[in-house]
Amino acid sequence: MILDIDHELEILRHFFTKQVAWIETEYAKLGSVDVAKSRSSEQVECELFHPEGPGSIEQLIWRMTINELNALIETFLQARLADLKGFLLERGAKTGNASRVDVVYSLPRTELEKSINDYINLTTLPGYAAVQIVREIAEGNKHRERLRPVPLWNKAAGTLVEVESLVAGRKGCIDSYEIELGKVSEYLSQTRVFFDAFRAANLGAV
């Protein structure tokens, strides 16, 4: 494994903590009595969500942290699968004398977890629920314009079918995430719990 995952996770945690402290300081400034006397609520709102304002930075920080955390989780899982099966995985039926060989890094997340589940049931590990939430949000950031899972079209019924979101607070079929910084901190902590639980697990074929 090239990356020191524990070190990278600590870097991310310290980065997040420092940014949260700055955001809280800026919110306090905008909420001060002096500001309230000198500016209208509309002016304060504009400052909050100015490109340099704490409201805008808060949104950026939680997205950056979630995306990097998801990348670290995938790297951790890749490394664990490599420990179990090696970096080169023979997959599929042989054609003549040849068979398909994949590098562990090329596996989609679903296939990665499926391969690991041959050795350990990931759903039983503490922290796994948070790991899946992080995955959903990161995929929404990357693939769905920051939206929760979008509805699927049921052709037979001629209607949209809502897809469940792992994140509480959904307000409609098409809805974005509203993630509090405290929840992001929790996801960071739960990821550490998951890593430690995985390492401590007895990995035998299941």
Per-residue pLDDT band for 205 (boundaries 50, 70, 90) equals very low
Q: Quote the pLDDT of residue 35.
A: 67
Q: Quote the pLDDT of residue 206.
A: 42
Q: Check pLDDT > 70 for residue 115.
A: yes
Report CA 98 to chain centroid distance, whole Å.
37
Q: Quote the pLDDT of residue 114.
A: 92
Q: Quote the pLDDT of residue 110.
A: 93
Share of the chain above pLDDT 90, in %: 48
Q: What is the DSSP-derived secondary structure letter of residue 91?
A: E
Length of the chain: 206
Q: Check pLDDT > 70 for residue 30.
A: yes
Task: Please name every residue paired with 194 in a beta bridge, in sequence order, or none if there are none.
Answer: none
Between 132 and 84, the higher pLDDT residue: 132
| Residues in CB range of 9: below 8 A, 6 or more apart | 69, 72, 188, 191, 192, 195
Closest alpha carbon to 127 in 30, 195, 40, 31 = 195
Closest alpha carbon to 122 in 201, 31, 26, 25 = 201
| Of 38-47, 69-78, 117-126, minimum mean pLDDT range | 38-47
- As a whole number, mean pLDDT of residues 148-170 equals 85
pLDDT digits (tens, 9 = 90+) for 37-60: 677 777 877 787 888 888 899 999
Q: What b-and-e string marks burial along 157-192, b requiring 16 or more CB atoms within 10 Å of the CB?
A: eeeeeeeebebeeeeeeebebebebebbbebbebbe
This prediction's pTM: 0.86
Tell me the average pLDDT of the chain.
Answer: 86
